[in-house]
Amino acid sequence: MTRRLVSVSNRVSIPRKQAAPGGLAVGVLAAMKARGGLWFGWSGELTDEGEPGMEVVRRHGASFAVTDFPRELFERYYYGFSNGMLWPLFHYFVETFHYDEPSWDAYLEANRFYADRLTRVLEADDLVWVHDYHLIPLARLLRERGARQPIGFFLHIPFPHHEVLRCLPVHEQLLADLCAFDVVGFQTDNDLRCFRDAVARLCGEACLAGPDELRVDGRIVRTGVYPIGVDVDAIVGESDRSSQGEMVRRMVASLTDRKLVLGVDRLDYSKGLVERFNAFDRFLQDHPERRGRVSLMQVAPLSRADMRAYSAIREQLEQLSGRINGRHAEADWVPIRYLNRNFAHESLMGFMRVADVGLVTPVRDGMNLVAKEFIASQDPADPGVLVLSRLAGAACELGEAVLVNPYDTHGMAEAIEQAIAMPVQERRRRHEGLLDVLRRNDIHAWHGKFVATLESVASPE
């Protein structure tokens, strides 16, 4: 009998026509559509008083259990500990990290809230798959409430080196909580090495029971690398349809045969947007013959706009794009088109298909599915070139991209020139190799391999 899969994340993305979902939502939706089951998490609604509501809806053969959340607790848990402390630290932004105990207490309280509500809908033979850094204590809290199902955890963001992790006063508790899961998965080999090293420093080298196992407090914890992918065929269809649509046709017409360099990122300080704009400025300075012939279009929808760090990056990018455009623009050409808004996923795939260069240059990223979407969206006969940061998890798989250090302004500028000038034969060769990697490690392989590992775990006594 097939066990029911229960996916758990901070936010549930119920399928509907909307702006492009993030990597976590894309992955979990694919697992839900392929296998059915239940997706549990926050509804997106906050309450100021009374018992938060909870409901279950069915879409596309899967169930979605969504709960409202107390507003005051959510703000301290989500904006405080999760995204004010864990996110910057795990992305190596130590200078923006600040620990405070009330936010840590709120993080634990929020996880207890989720554990209490999840327990109501769990069945004895479920497989439980918990996603991302918001919910690290959840397995321990579920065990305390009597859960005996196999529970797995997947970290969508990077896992930091121990020397960075130990800046967090409660890092030992978080490591212990991760070891309460039966399976712990990561995006890259480096993330896994950092986790195993941190646990060995906490528990001693003897806990390293094997290359894929830890032995902690008499329990075996399976560990592994499961790089998240994309649905290649779905993106091919989307990009082909959208490239023929009115929005993309208008955008192409506005370029008037100029080359298009495209960036698509959430507005987040980890995405390297300031460094990217500076590199494009340097590119125009170093290659004056390209002025008026190449445009950068940066799509950057708002992300966590209520947090000070995100408001600051938005203001910085607006000022920087204005200065660069003021320096280089001509009467009929603007170097940077900065679009601070959402687009439907299909429209973005159309933009990617007609782009000559995809610029994906985060200063730190767990994977970055935009890089993979860019590859899948291309016309194999005349593909664009992916310029990819070495500090993105995707660089571990996509060696045929033009790889760059996002902090190297001159190197980034020269990579843009290399991509624009690349002959079609080389572009086709690189694209063919990249597409082969995408098909081997697609979204179905990601959730299939993780769930298979979770199924192999015997329920704890």
Query: Residues 165, 40: contact at Cβ < 8 Å?
Result: no
215 and 236 in a single domain? The answer is no
> Which pLDDT score is estimated for 96?
87
CA distance 182 to 301: 36
CA distance 127 to 149: 6
297 and 426 in a single domain? The answer is yes
> Which pLDDT score is estimated for 85?
96
> CA 42, 47, 51, 57 torsion: positive or negative?
negative
Span 109-136, average pLDDT: 97
DSSP 90-124: HTT-GGG----HHHHHHHHHHHHHHHHHHHHH--T
22 and 97 in a single domain? The answer is yes
| Per-residue CA distances from 403 to 273, 406, 419, 420 (Å) | 16, 9, 11, 14
Domain contains 460: no
Give the DSSP H/E element, type plus range, for residue 312: helix 308-328
103 and 167 in a single domain? The answer is yes
Give 319-341 pLDDT, tens digit per residue: 999 999 999 999 999 999 999 88
> Which pLDDT score is estimated for 458?
55
> Which pLDDT score is estimated for 34?
83
187 and 302 in a single domain? The answer is no
Span 134-163, average pLDDT: 97
CA distance 227 to 162: 22
> Which pLDDT score is estimated for 19?
46
Give 35-83 pLDDT, tens digit per residue: 889 999 999 999 998 899 999 998 877 899 999 999 999 999 999 999 9
- Containing domain of residue 97, as a range? 5-229+443-455
> Which pLDDT score is estimated for 459?
47
Give 4-19 pLDDT, tens digit per residue: 999 999 999 887 644 4
Residue 308 in this model has a pLDDT that exceeds 70: no
216 and 238 in a single domain? The answer is no
> Which pLDDT score is estimated for 214?
96
- At 32, the pLDDT band (50, 70, 90 cuts) reads confident
Give 405-447 pLDDT, tens digit per residue: 999 999 999 999 999 999 999 999 999 999 999 999 999 999 9
Prediction pTM value: 0.94
Domain contains 87: yes
Q: How many distinct structural domains can be found in the chain?
A: 2
271 and 410 in a single domain? The answer is yes
CA distance 140 to 405: 39
Of 133, 83, 87, which Cα lies nearest the Cα of 111? 133
Domain contains 134: yes
> Which pLDDT score is estimated for 461?
45
> Which pLDDT score is estimated for 22?
62
205 and 252 in a single domain? The answer is no
Mean pLDDT score across all residues of the chain: 93
241 and 170 in a single domain? The answer is no
Amino acid at residue number 14:
I
Q: How long a stretch of residues is the chain?
A: 461
Query: Residues 194, 159: contact at Cβ < 8 Å?
Result: yes
Local structure of residue 206 (DSSP, 8 states): G
59 and 158 in a single domain? The answer is yes
371 and 450 in a single domain? The answer is no
Domain contains 280: yes
Span 120-144, average pLDDT: 97
Catalytic positions are 156, 365
* Three-state secondary-structure class, residue 302: coil
211 and 238 in a single domain? The answer is no
What lies within 8 Å, CB to CB, of 160 at 6+ separation is 89, 90, 91, 92, 194
Give 175-227 pLDDT, tens digit per residue: 999 999 999 999 999 999 999 999 999 999 999 988 999 999 999 999 999 99
> CA 383, 389, 390, 396 torsion: positive or negative?
negative
Beta-bridge partners for 365:
392
CA distance 171 to 126: 29
CA distance 70 to 110: 9
> Which pLDDT score is estimated for 60?
73
Domain contains 461: no
The enclosing domain of 428 has a CATH number of 3.40.50.2000
Domain contains 391: yes
Residue 242 in this model has a pLDDT that exceeds 60: yes
Give the rounded percent of residues in the chain with a pLDDT score beyond 90.
84
Parallel, antiparallel, or unpaired for β 213-216 and 219-225?
A: antiparallel
φ, ψ (nearest 5 deg) of residue 201: -70, -30
Domain contains 284: yes
Domain contains 368: yes
Residue 263 in this model has a pLDDT that exceeds 70: yes
- At 460, the pLDDT band (50, 70, 90 cuts) reads very low
What lies within 8 Å, CB to CB, of 121 at 6+ separation is 6, 38, 40, 56, 65
> Which pLDDT score is estimated for 31?
86
Residue 25 in this model has a pLDDT that exceeds 60: yes
Of 290, 315, 285, which Cα lies nearest the Cα of 300? 315
